[in-house]
Amino acid sequence: MQDVAATFIDKPPSMINHSQGITHWTPPIKEYVKLNSDGAFIKGTASGYGALIRDDKGFFLVGVALKDIPRSVLYSECAAMRLALLLALELEIHDLVVESDCADLIKYARHLSNPPWEILLLMQDIWSFLSHFHSVIIMHVVQSTNSSTHLLAAFGTSFYDSSLCKWVGMPPYFPWDVLELDRGYISNA
């Protein structure tokens, strides 16, 4: 198993920074799978987690939504990434691009900064999970590139309890338009 930080640092700068200036979802490089995660937080009410995994052609592989008790925005973002990585491990993915619109979470995942105690245990899980992949690229993206995942996270906040909704092969109806728009960018490129 490789050290995640070393896996990331060995990537050429053009791959690490490819999301700069991009305002819509883009597919990963060939033979990679892209994981997007997002957390939604409604203070005093609920947290929701959303995750999507798509292939290098933009096809939906799996998605999840989950409700949790509200803790903080950062906790929600971190728990969403942890859940997404568990999905990727379950799918036995080898080469992975991980994206989040939470800049702090990306810094922690890359070992560029120490996480606060509130999320330390989640980050230890994330680092452990990342070490199981052959190759990992971890990137921060602007929120507009993560809109499908945000819809899943927001959907999670509406659940009655902490049930997990998981979709395999076919996405739920509500982010369908956004997912198709994302795929449209691919075919128009």
Is the confidence at residue 178, as pLDDT, over 70? no
Which residues, 6 or more positions from 9, have their beta carbon under 8 angstroms from its beta carbon?
Answer: none
pLDDT for the residue 167: 80
pLDDT for the residue 146: 76
Rounded Cα distance, 128 and 147, in Å: 27
Question: pLDDT category, 21, cuts 50, 70, 90?
Answer: low
The residue-averaged pLDDT of 98-114 equals: 95
pLDDT for the residue 14: 33
- Comparing 188 with 92, which gets the higher pLDDT? 92
Radius of gyration of the chain (CA): 15
pTM of this structure = 0.81
| 8 Å CB contact between 122 and 113 | no
Going from the C-alpha of 164 to that of each of 14, 45, 67, 68, 150, the distances in angstroms are: 36, 18, 7, 10, 16
pLDDT for the residue 179: 66
Q: Mean pLDDT over all residues of the chain? A: 81
Write the DSSP string, 11-35. Answer: S-HHHHTTTTT--S--PPSTT-EEE
The residue-averaged pLDDT of 59-83 equals: 89
> Could you give the domains of the chain?
4-16+33-188 (3.30.420.10)
| 8 Å CB contact between 149 and 50 | yes
Which residues, 6 or more positions from 67, have their beta carbon under 8 angstroms from its beta carbon?
Answer: 46, 47, 48, 156, 157, 158, 159, 161, 162, 163
Rounded Cα distance, 43 and 30, in Å: 40
Q: Report phi then psi at 65, rounded to 5.
A: -140, 145
- Percentage, residues of the chain above pLDDT 70: 79
- SS3 for 96-145, per residue? EEEEECCHHHHHHHCCCCCCCHHHHHHHHHHHHHHCCCCEEEEEECCHHH
